[in-house]
């Protein structure tokens, strides 16, 4: 994800201090992983250099987190372009799982176990996400659903591959 | 309903030892319909308050297993025991009394009586157990409220959306405080948002009341609401997480 654009977006409604930005980010988008302050600072320096934000005064005290930042016109144009452009859909054609299955078949290891171990792990993780979703607010629900729907797609692929494993084994060993 | 075959062996012979602590257990159950062997050695046990997903392809025998466990059909061979008691040893009337008192049912659709209001439908299991109308309807209303459909109490099933109907069906399944709820594809006819909402309500309500749930589904996102899974394939069961 583009941290620069996210920070610009958080600055658009009004100026914020560096630390304030980190807090706003963590609250909305950092549920899986909080943002290290160093990364906020590095990103702000880059945005500053590119003229997408400006410093607008400093509070009493020491350190970069005391600086206030405001988005520039160029910054608004930039975040606006990012929001309206579609993300490129991930191609999914590089698959570690597929590679593992083929290598297991090539080396005479139990490929079906590779699939079953993965299936169990996926399902375990899906149960965990579902519990979290049940206890969570709308943001948790939407984030967990995003993960759950992707894991569900993987499970369907695992099932399909399991049912064509003999066919694949024939091709791989040919 | 078919009659049980006469078996010479003692009822406990060959029973799965793990079935002993279980609330409800099927052990090596077989059931045929004409030439179709719907169940061919299926075993499953569920503990108090446990939520078990029953997965498997269409036609694999999931519903037949559920019906055997609920005492709705009698297996050709194998045993089904509830709280340690073999269901085959009960008379038909004792079995239906057990179903009314201890079991709740949610199906894909069509389980509500079309001529009755939502409230009357929800109160029905209590009325059948001999409760008077007023207290039965009071409790039914509380359950409709827990499932967020109290405002639909006076509507007929035909006036409800799919998701609303399933909520009323869940209220009806839980109103008697059953020990086991049998849910056969409860979200099978719902869109994904309604399916999520109905599952969240079903799981929360069952957990709060301590009911065990047997959840038949072929949707892994629905199965993820359960504590564990049993897979049915060609009438046989397997439990991937338990190494068998
Ligand atoms: N009452 C019945 N009469 C004849 N065949 C049946 C009956 N019930 C189920 N079957 C058959 O038994 C098999 C298992 O059915 P079922 O338990 O309904 O599968 P599932 O619920 O997994 O889709 C299927 O081949 C089905 O056609
Ligand atoms: Mg079925």
pTM, entire model: 0.85
Contact B100, B129 (CB under 8 A): yes
Closest CA to B113 of B167, B157, B168, B165: B157
Domain ranges of chain A: 3-84, 96-173
- Summarised one tens digit per residue, pLDDT across range B115-158 is 999 999 999 999 999 999 999 999 999 999 999 999 999 999 99
* Sequence-ordered list of residues with C-beta below 8 angstroms from that of B121, at least 6 positions apart, any chain: B112, B113, B157, B168, B172
Name the pLDDT band for B7 (thresholds 50, 70, 90).
very low
pLDDT at B62: 97
Contact A88, A78 (CB under 8 A): no
Dihedral of CA B25/B42/B64/B228: which sign? positive
Ramachandran assignment for B41, one of left (phi > 0), alpha (psi -120 to 50 degrees), beta (any other) = left
If you average pLDDT over residues B64-91, what whole number do you get? 96
If you average pLDDT over residues B178-207, what whole number do you get? 93
For ligand 1, whether the C-beta of B54 sits within 6 Å is no
User: Exposure of B175 by Cβ count < 10 A (0-12 exposed, 13-18 middle, 19+ buried)?
Assistant: buried
For ligand 1, whether the C-beta of B61 sits within 6 Å is yes
**Which atom of ligand 1 sits closest to the CA of residue B216?**
21
Question: Chain A, 139-168: which have a CB under 8 Å from a chain B CB?
Answer: 145, 148-149, 152, 155-156
pLDDT at A86: 87
Nearest 10 degrees: Cα torsion B144, B150, B153, B157: -70
- Summarised one tens digit per residue, pLDDT across range A3-24 is 999 999 999 999 999 989 999 9
pLDDT at A89: 83
Q: Which helix (H) or strand (E) holds B33?
A: strand B24-33
SS3 (DSSP) at A89: coil
Q: How many residues does the structure list for chain B?
A: 244
pLDDT at A59: 67
pLDDT at B234: 96
Please indicate if any CB of chain B lies within 8 Å of the CB of A134: yes
Q: What does the alpha-carbon distance between residue B163 and residue B186 come to, in Å, rounded to a whole number?
A: 10
- Summarised one tens digit per residue, pLDDT across range A30-81 is 888 899 999 999 999 999 999 999 998 776 666 555 789 999 999 999 999 9
**Measuring CA to CA, how many Å separate B10 from each of A124, A165, B15, B81, B91?**
39, 43, 10, 14, 18
Q: What does the alpha-carbon distance between residue A119 and residue B158 come to, in Å, rounded to a whole number?
A: 40
Contact A136, A148 (CB under 8 A): no
SS3 (DSSP) at B151: helix
- Summarised one tens digit per residue, pLDDT across range B11-49 is 444 445 555 579 999 999 999 999 999 999 999 999 999
Å from CA of B60 to ligand 1 middle: 8
List the single best residue of A134, A146, A150, A156 to mutate versus B (max B Cβ within 10 A): A134
For ligand 1, whether the C-beta of B60 sits within 6 Å is yes
Cβ distance B229 to A123 less than 8 Å, yes or no, reads yes
Contact B75, B39 (CB under 8 A): yes
What topology is assigned to A3-84 in CATH?
Arc Repressor Mutant, subunit A (1.10.10)
Query: What percent of chain B is predicted at pLDDT more than 90?
Result: 84
CATH architecture, range B19-107+160-238:
3-Layer(aba) Sandwich (3.40)
- Summarised one tens digit per residue, pLDDT across range A74-122 is 999 999 999 999 888 887 877 899 999 999 999 999 999 999 999 999 9
Q: Where are the beta strands (DSSP E) in chain A?
A: 16-17, 53-58, 67-71
DSSP one-letter string for A7-45: HHHHHTTS-EEHHHHHHHHHHHH-SSSPPPHHHHHHHHH
**Residue B79 tokens, joined:** 């045993």
Cβ distance A120 to B227 less than 8 Å, yes or no, reads no
pLDDT at A87: 86
């Amino acid at each position: 994800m583009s941290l620069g654009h996210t920070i610009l977006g958080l600055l658009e409604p009004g100026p914020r201090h560096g630390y304030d930005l980190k807090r706003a980010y963590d609250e909305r988008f950092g549920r899986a992983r909080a943002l290290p302050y160093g990364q906020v600072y590095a990103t702000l320096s880059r945005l500053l250099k590119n003229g997408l934000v400006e410093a607008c005064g400093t509070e009493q005290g020491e350190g970069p987190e005391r600086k206030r930042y405001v988005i520039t016109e160029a910054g608004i144009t930039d975040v606006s372009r990012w929001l309206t452009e579609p993300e490129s859909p991930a191609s999914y054609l590089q698959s570690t799982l597929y590679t593992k299955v083929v290598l297991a078949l090539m080396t005479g290891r139990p490929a079906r176990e590779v699939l079953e171990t993965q299936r169990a792990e996926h399902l375990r993780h899906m149960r965990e996400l579902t519990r979290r979703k049940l206890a969570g607010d709308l943001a948790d629900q939407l984030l967990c659903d995003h993960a759950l729907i992707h894991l569900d797609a993987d499970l369907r692929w695992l099932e399909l591959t399991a049912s064509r494993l003999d066919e694949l084994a024939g091709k791989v060993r040919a | 309903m078919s009659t049980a075959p006469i078996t010479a062996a003692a009822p406990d012979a060959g029973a799965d030892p793990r079935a002993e602590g279980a609330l409800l257990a099927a052990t090596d159950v077989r059931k045929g319909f004409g030439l179709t062997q719907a169940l061919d050695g299926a075993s499953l046990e569920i503990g108090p308050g446990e939520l078990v997903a029953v997965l498997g392809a269409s036609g694999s025998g999931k519903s037949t297993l559920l019906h055997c466990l609920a005492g709705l059909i009698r297996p050709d061979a194998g045993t089904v025991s509830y709280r340690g008691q073999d269901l085959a040893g009960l008379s038909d009337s004792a079995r239906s009394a057990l179903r009314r008192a201890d079991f709740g049912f949610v199906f894909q659709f069509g389980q509500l009586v079309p001529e009755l209001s939502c409230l009357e439908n929800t109160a029905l299991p209590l009325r059948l157990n001999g409760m008077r109308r007023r207290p039965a309807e009071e409790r039914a209303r509380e359950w409709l409220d827990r499932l967020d459909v109290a405002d639909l109490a006076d509507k007929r099933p035909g006036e409800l959306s799919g998701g609303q109907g399933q909520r009323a069906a869940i209220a009806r399944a839980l109103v008697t405080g059953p020990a086991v709820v049998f849910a056969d594809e409860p979200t099978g006819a719902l869109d994904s948002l309604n399916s999520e909402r109905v599952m969240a309500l079903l799981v929360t309500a069952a957990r709060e009341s301590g009911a065990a749930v047997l959840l038949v589904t072929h949707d892994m996102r629905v199965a993820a609401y359960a504590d564990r899974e049993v897979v049915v394939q060609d009438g046989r069961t397997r439990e991937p997480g338990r190494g068998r």
